[in-house]
Protein backbone atom coordinates (compact mmCIF):
# COMPACT_ATOMS: atom_id res chain seq x y z
CA UNK A 1 0.00 0.00 0.00
CA UNK A 2 1.41 3.39 -1.01
CA UNK A 3 2.15 6.02 1.60
CA UNK A 4 -0.66 8.57 1.86
CA UNK A 5 0.37 12.14 1.02
CA UNK A 6 -1.44 15.05 2.69
CA UNK A 7 -1.35 18.45 0.96
CA UNK A 8 -2.07 21.23 3.48
CA UNK A 9 -3.75 24.15 1.72
CA UNK A 10 -4.87 27.29 3.57
CA UNK A 11 -6.55 29.54 1.02
CA UNK A 12 -8.29 32.90 1.03
CA UNK A 13 -10.12 34.79 -1.70
CA UNK A 14 -8.67 32.72 -4.51
CA UNK A 15 -11.10 29.96 -5.48
CA UNK A 16 -9.85 29.98 -9.07
CA UNK A 17 -6.24 29.53 -8.00
CA UNK A 18 -7.10 26.85 -5.46
CA UNK A 19 -9.04 25.00 -8.16
CA UNK A 20 -6.09 25.34 -10.56
CA UNK A 21 -3.81 23.80 -7.93
CA UNK A 22 -6.17 20.89 -7.25
CA UNK A 23 -6.55 20.27 -10.99
CA UNK A 24 -2.76 19.99 -11.23
CA UNK A 25 -2.77 17.46 -8.37
CA UNK A 26 -5.38 15.40 -10.18
CA UNK A 27 -3.58 15.56 -13.52
CA UNK A 28 -0.01 14.93 -12.35
CA UNK A 29 -0.44 12.28 -9.61
CA UNK A 30 0.37 8.66 -10.40
CA UNK A 31 -1.57 7.34 -7.41
CA UNK A 32 -4.34 9.87 -6.88
CA UNK A 33 -6.18 7.53 -4.50
CA UNK A 34 -3.27 7.97 -2.07
CA UNK A 35 -3.28 11.77 -2.07
CA UNK A 36 -5.51 14.01 0.05
CA UNK A 37 -5.97 17.79 0.17
CA UNK A 38 -6.80 19.51 3.45
CA UNK A 39 -8.41 22.86 2.68
CA UNK A 40 -8.53 25.56 5.36
CA UNK A 41 -10.94 28.35 4.41
CA UNK A 42 -11.88 31.50 6.31
CA UNK A 43 -15.51 31.61 7.40
CA UNK A 44 -15.97 35.03 5.76
CA UNK A 45 -14.56 33.80 2.43
CA UNK A 46 -17.94 32.63 1.18
CA UNK A 47 -16.75 32.35 -2.42
CA UNK A 48 -14.36 29.55 -1.47
CA UNK A 49 -16.70 27.45 0.66
CA UNK A 50 -17.88 25.36 -2.29
CA UNK A 51 -14.40 24.47 -3.56
CA UNK A 52 -14.29 20.93 -4.89
CA UNK A 53 -12.40 18.69 -7.29
CA UNK A 54 -14.27 15.48 -8.18
CA UNK A 55 -12.06 12.42 -7.86
CA UNK A 56 -9.73 14.04 -5.32
CA UNK A 57 -9.98 13.37 -1.57
CA UNK A 58 -10.72 16.72 0.08
CA UNK A 59 -11.25 17.65 3.71
CA UNK A 60 -12.51 21.18 4.40
CA UNK A 61 -11.95 23.20 7.54
CA UNK A 62 -13.96 26.43 7.71
CA UNK A 63 -13.23 28.75 10.61
CA UNK A 64 -12.15 32.22 11.74
CA UNK A 65 -9.21 34.00 10.16
CA UNK A 66 -5.91 33.13 11.76
CA UNK A 67 -2.17 33.19 11.20
CA UNK A 68 -0.60 31.03 8.51
CA UNK A 69 1.10 28.98 11.19
CA UNK A 70 -2.18 28.29 12.95
CA UNK A 71 -3.98 27.44 9.71
CA UNK A 72 -1.30 24.98 8.65
CA UNK A 73 -1.42 23.41 12.11
CA UNK A 74 -5.20 23.01 11.81
CA UNK A 75 -4.69 21.31 8.45
CA UNK A 76 -2.04 19.02 9.93
CA UNK A 77 -4.36 17.91 12.72
CA UNK A 78 -7.11 17.08 10.23
CA UNK A 79 -4.78 15.15 7.92
CA UNK A 80 -4.02 11.43 7.84
CA UNK A 81 -0.96 11.25 5.57
CA UNK A 82 2.34 9.53 6.23
CA UNK A 83 3.87 12.44 4.29
CA UNK A 84 2.85 16.07 4.78
CA UNK A 85 3.42 18.91 2.31
CA UNK A 86 2.74 22.60 2.86
CA UNK A 87 1.33 24.08 -0.35
CA UNK A 88 -0.14 27.38 -1.49
CA UNK A 89 -3.04 28.25 -3.75
CA UNK A 90 -0.56 30.03 -6.06
CA UNK A 91 1.35 26.81 -6.70
CA UNK A 92 0.98 24.46 -9.67
CA UNK A 93 2.42 20.94 -9.88
CA UNK A 94 4.25 20.49 -13.20
CA UNK A 95 5.84 17.04 -12.79
CA UNK A 96 4.01 13.84 -13.71
CA UNK A 97 4.49 11.24 -10.99
CA UNK A 98 5.66 13.77 -8.38
CA UNK A 99 3.94 11.70 -5.71
CA UNK A 100 5.92 8.53 -6.40
CA UNK A 101 9.21 10.47 -6.39
CA UNK A 102 8.41 11.84 -2.95
CA UNK A 103 7.39 8.40 -1.69
CA UNK A 104 10.80 7.09 -2.80
CA UNK A 105 12.53 9.76 -0.70
CA UNK A 106 10.36 8.87 2.29
CA UNK A 107 11.10 5.16 1.89
CA UNK A 108 14.85 5.78 1.63
CA UNK A 109 15.11 7.01 5.23
CA UNK A 110 14.24 4.36 7.75
CA UNK A 111 13.79 6.75 10.68
CA UNK A 112 11.64 9.11 8.55
CA UNK A 113 13.47 12.24 9.71
CA UNK A 114 13.95 14.60 6.77
CA UNK A 115 13.05 17.89 5.14
CA UNK A 116 12.46 17.57 1.41
CA UNK A 117 11.32 20.17 -1.08
CA UNK A 118 10.72 20.49 -4.78
CA UNK A 119 11.85 23.05 -7.33
CA UNK A 120 9.54 26.07 -7.16
CA UNK A 121 11.07 27.43 -10.43
CA UNK A 122 11.75 30.71 -8.61
CA UNK A 123 13.97 30.30 -5.54
CA UNK A 124 15.04 26.79 -6.51
CA UNK A 125 17.47 25.09 -4.13
CA UNK A 126 17.87 28.25 -2.03
CA UNK A 127 14.57 27.85 -0.18
CA UNK A 128 12.12 25.10 0.75
CA UNK A 129 9.11 27.11 -0.43
CA UNK A 130 6.84 24.07 -0.06
CA UNK A 131 8.29 21.92 2.76
CA UNK A 132 7.82 18.14 2.71
CA UNK A 133 7.95 16.33 6.05
CA UNK A 134 7.10 12.87 7.31
CA UNK A 135 4.41 12.58 9.94
CA UNK A 136 7.05 11.25 12.34
CA UNK A 137 9.12 14.41 11.87
CA UNK A 138 6.02 16.52 12.55
CA UNK A 139 5.29 14.51 15.70
CA UNK A 140 8.86 14.85 16.95
CA UNK A 141 8.76 18.60 16.38
CA UNK A 142 5.34 18.81 18.14
CA UNK A 143 4.69 22.26 16.68
CA UNK A 144 6.35 22.31 13.24
CA UNK A 145 4.37 25.35 12.06
CA UNK A 146 4.30 27.81 15.00
CA UNK A 147 1.21 29.99 15.16
CA UNK A 148 3.44 33.02 15.75
CA UNK A 149 4.17 33.16 12.02
CA UNK A 150 1.49 35.32 10.45
CA UNK A 151 2.30 34.81 6.79
CA UNK A 152 5.96 34.00 6.23
CA UNK A 153 9.12 32.36 7.55
CA UNK A 154 7.77 28.84 8.18
CA UNK A 155 10.03 27.67 5.34
CA UNK A 156 13.07 29.43 6.82
CA UNK A 157 12.15 28.15 10.29
CA UNK A 158 12.20 24.52 9.12
CA UNK A 159 15.28 24.98 6.95
CA UNK A 160 17.16 26.46 9.91
CA UNK A 161 16.35 23.41 12.06
CA UNK A 162 17.66 21.05 9.39
CA UNK A 163 20.74 23.22 8.74
CA UNK A 164 21.55 22.62 12.41
CA UNK A 165 21.17 18.88 11.91
CA UNK A 166 23.37 19.10 8.84
CA UNK A 167 26.05 20.96 10.82
CA UNK A 168 25.88 18.21 13.47
CA UNK A 169 26.79 15.64 10.83
CA UNK A 170 23.36 14.45 9.72
CA UNK A 171 22.31 15.88 6.37
CA UNK A 172 18.60 15.18 6.10
CA UNK A 173 17.78 17.90 3.56
CA UNK A 174 16.60 16.57 0.22
CA UNK A 175 16.20 19.01 -2.68
CA UNK A 176 14.18 17.45 -5.49
CA UNK A 177 15.21 19.48 -8.52
CA UNK A 178 13.20 17.26 -10.86
CA UNK A 179 9.94 17.81 -8.96
CA UNK A 180 8.50 21.11 -10.22
CA UNK A 181 6.15 22.79 -7.77
CA UNK A 182 5.89 26.07 -9.66
CA UNK A 183 5.31 29.08 -7.43
CA UNK A 184 3.11 31.42 -9.48
CA UNK A 185 3.97 34.40 -7.27
CA UNK A 186 3.62 38.02 -8.30
CA UNK A 187 7.26 38.69 -7.38
CA UNK A 188 8.32 36.20 -10.05
CA UNK A 189 6.14 37.99 -12.60
CA UNK A 190 3.73 35.06 -12.87
CA UNK A 191 0.69 36.69 -11.24
CA UNK A 192 -0.93 40.03 -10.58
CA UNK A 193 -0.90 41.66 -7.16
CA UNK A 194 -4.19 40.82 -5.46
CA UNK A 195 -5.92 41.51 -2.13
CA UNK A 196 -4.43 38.43 -0.45
CA UNK A 197 -0.88 39.49 -1.34
CA UNK A 198 -1.56 43.11 -0.31
CA UNK A 199 -2.82 42.13 3.14
CA UNK A 200 0.44 40.45 4.10
CA UNK A 201 3.11 42.47 5.84
CA UNK A 202 6.31 41.47 4.06
CA UNK A 203 8.41 42.17 7.17
CA UNK A 204 5.85 41.27 9.83
CA UNK A 205 7.48 37.98 10.85
CA UNK A 206 11.15 39.04 10.92
CA UNK A 207 11.16 39.60 14.68
CA UNK A 208 9.27 36.38 15.30
CA UNK A 209 11.93 34.37 13.51
CA UNK A 210 14.60 35.98 15.69
CA UNK A 211 12.59 35.32 18.85
CA UNK A 212 12.23 31.60 18.07
CA UNK A 213 15.95 31.01 17.64
CA UNK A 214 16.28 28.98 20.88
CA UNK A 215 13.18 26.98 19.99
CA UNK A 216 14.75 25.96 16.69
CA UNK A 217 17.91 24.94 18.50
CA UNK A 218 15.87 22.72 20.83
CA UNK A 219 14.01 21.24 17.84
CA UNK A 220 17.29 20.30 16.16
CA UNK A 221 18.54 18.65 19.37
CA UNK A 222 15.31 16.66 19.59
CA UNK A 223 15.65 15.38 16.02
CA UNK A 224 19.33 14.63 16.56
CA UNK A 225 18.52 12.51 19.62
CA UNK A 226 15.91 10.59 17.63
CA UNK A 227 18.39 9.94 14.81
CA UNK A 228 20.89 8.59 17.34
CA UNK A 229 18.24 6.40 18.93
CA UNK A 230 18.45 8.32 22.20
CA UNK A 231 15.55 9.14 24.49
CA UNK A 232 14.60 12.80 24.27
CA UNK A 233 12.00 14.84 26.10
CA UNK A 234 8.97 15.76 24.06
CA UNK A 235 9.17 19.16 22.42
CA UNK A 236 6.88 21.80 23.93
CA UNK A 237 4.67 23.91 21.71
CA UNK A 238 6.31 27.07 20.45
CA UNK A 239 6.22 29.90 23.00
CA UNK A 240 4.12 32.94 22.22
CA UNK A 241 6.46 35.69 21.16
CA UNK A 242 6.04 39.23 19.92
CA UNK A 243 7.75 40.72 16.91
CA UNK A 244 10.85 42.62 18.06
CA UNK A 245 11.31 46.25 17.09
CA UNK A 246 15.00 46.97 16.61
CA UNK A 247 17.24 49.85 15.61
CA UNK A 248 19.83 49.75 12.85
CA UNK A 249 22.60 49.49 15.44
CA UNK A 250 20.93 46.50 17.06
CA UNK A 251 20.59 44.81 13.68
CA UNK A 252 24.26 45.36 12.87
CA UNK A 253 25.70 44.48 16.28
CA UNK A 254 23.05 42.27 17.86
CA UNK A 255 22.81 40.00 14.85
CA UNK A 256 26.56 39.41 14.90
CA UNK A 257 25.95 37.47 18.10
CA UNK A 258 22.61 36.07 17.00
CA UNK A 259 23.65 34.83 13.56
CA UNK A 260 27.39 35.07 12.89
CA UNK A 261 28.37 33.61 16.26
CA UNK A 262 25.78 30.81 16.28
CA UNK A 263 28.05 27.78 16.33
CA UNK A 264 25.13 25.42 15.81
CA UNK A 265 24.77 26.51 12.18
CA UNK A 266 27.03 26.17 9.12
CA UNK A 267 28.96 29.40 8.57
CA UNK A 268 27.53 30.00 5.10
CA UNK A 269 23.98 29.89 6.53
CA UNK A 270 25.00 32.19 9.41
CA UNK A 271 26.55 34.68 7.01
CA UNK A 272 23.53 34.53 4.69
CA UNK A 273 21.12 35.23 7.56
CA UNK A 274 23.19 38.15 8.80
CA UNK A 275 23.42 39.88 5.41
CA UNK A 276 19.84 39.00 4.50
CA UNK A 277 18.43 40.42 7.73
CA UNK A 278 20.44 43.59 7.32
CA UNK A 279 19.03 43.98 3.82
CA UNK A 280 15.49 43.30 4.99
CA UNK A 281 15.80 45.89 7.74
CA UNK A 282 16.94 48.55 5.27
CA UNK A 283 14.16 47.62 2.83
CA UNK A 284 11.52 47.83 5.58
CA UNK A 285 12.49 51.44 6.32
CA UNK A 286 12.03 52.68 2.75
Q: Spell out the domain ranges in the chain.
A: 5-199, 206-284
| CA count, 13 A, side-chain hemisphere, 91 | 24
Three-state DSSP state, 21:
helix
Strands 173-183 and 91-93: antiparallel
Enter the DSSP assignment of 50.
Answer: T
pLDDT of residue 249: 66
Rounded to 10 degrees, what is the CA torsion of 15, 21, 27, 28? -170
CA distance 248 to 157: 23
pLDDT of residue 207: 85
Are 48 and 41 in contact by the 8 Å Cβ rule? The answer is yes
CA distance 20 to 14: 10
CA distance 229 to 224: 9
**Residue 94 CB coordination number (10 Å):** 16
Positions in the chain whose pLDDT score sits under 50:
none
pTM: predicted TM-score of the whole model, two decimal places: 0.95
pLDDT of residue 16: 97
Count how many residues are written for the chain: 286
pLDDT of residue 250: 65
pLDDT tens, residue by residue, 168-226:
999 999 999 999 999 998 888 888 888 888 888 887 888 899 889 999 999 999 999 99
Q: Which CATH superfamily is domain 5-199 in?
A: Spore Coat Polysaccharide Biosynthesis Protein SpsA; Chain A (3.90.550.10)
pLDDT tens, residue by residue, 90-113:
999 999 999 999 999 999 999 999
CA distance 181 to 117: 9
Amino acid sequence: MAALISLLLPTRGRPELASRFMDSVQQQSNQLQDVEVILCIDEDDIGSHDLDCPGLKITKIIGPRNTMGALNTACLRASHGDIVILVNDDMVIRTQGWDDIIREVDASLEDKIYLAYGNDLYKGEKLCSFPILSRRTCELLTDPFPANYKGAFIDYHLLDIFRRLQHAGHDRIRYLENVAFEHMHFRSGKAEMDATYKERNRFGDDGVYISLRNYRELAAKTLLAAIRGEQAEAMPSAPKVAAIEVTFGQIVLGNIKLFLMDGGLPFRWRFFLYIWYLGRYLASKK
